[in-house]
Structure 1
Amino acid sequence: MIIRQLIGLSELRNSHTRLSGMVTKHASMCASRQRDSVDAGTFTRGVAEQESDWKRATVLVVDDEPRIASLAGTYLKRLETEMTVVVETDPQDALARFEAADVDCVVSDYEMPVMDGLELLAAVRDGDPTTPFILFTACDDEGLARTARECGGAYLPKEGRAGGFDRLAERVESALSGRAE
């Protein structure tokens, strides 16, 4: 029994070390991208886009867990808007959709196969440094939250029950209404 607990602690420590290394790698990637990219504060959009009605926005929800992605989409559709919610379970498909369509906000999980949420954030920033991006994840790590903010995204931890999804809907509404101003 004690040996199993020690093995479990060792695996937990290894997992935390791996996550810390990934966050550090992404932080340095974001720092170099910020030096090389357009300053989002000076980036200007066309007059028609500035005047667009955020209540008709398109939100892209990306989570490799179909039930979670669908649930997030359901909560977003409850907002009193004509919002279009597009759900993708593969981050590469989500990136292709982002590049091909007019997406006004991206909500993404962090831990996904092939591409994690910070890699998706970096790719979205390459395409448009002003699109609101919310990293909505069960991974509660302050280093990850800081890195997401440094890369130009927002961080929101998934919480048990409906509270986290209600907060997500509020955050998306706030991000979109701020973008329309």
Structure 2
Amino acid sequence: MATVSAKVYEHHKKADGTYNVKICVHHKRERKFIDTNHYVVRKQLTKDYKIKDSFVVEKVDRQLKEYRKVISELDDRLIDFTAESLRDFLRDKDEDIDFVKFCDNHIKRLRNDGRERSADNHRVIRNSLVDFFKRESFSINEYWLKNANNFHVWDYNLFWMSIRTNVAERLAAFYKS
């Protein structure tokens, strides 16, 4: 069972006298921490370093509730996570991923593994998406939310157009000889 809680540690005091509020992710007897945007000074803390400022408590509690909801929605998949991977999942779940950059990294990995044909196939799809969006960078969310249906139609038409062109070229070459 994974738990999340807010923590402030005395030894994390910054030079300006503030402390960063951290979210502790405890899972499988391991603890990992997520930094927050919240900083407190000593007078906003109890003597055992619990947050007493109601504004900060409210903000942090809202984040904790969101993390708990995400953890609950993982259901049986939670067992597959380590504390570190769960922390990364919670921290990065809303991160926008540059899909072209992701594709380039994946294609590079395939080539490093000697999987040239797979890399070539992925490169074709990547290039088709770049042509479709008419730019070298776009979010995976942008693709899924706005253009999934349009791309499939566009890709399908491109596929058949390339087949027809290929067949026409082969027939022309056949009849020339």
- Work out whether the TM-score is over 0.5: no
Greater relative contact order (CA < 8 Å, ≥ 6 in sequence)? 1
TM-score of the aligned structures, taking structure 1 as reference length: 0.25
Q: Which has the larger radius of gyration?
A: 2
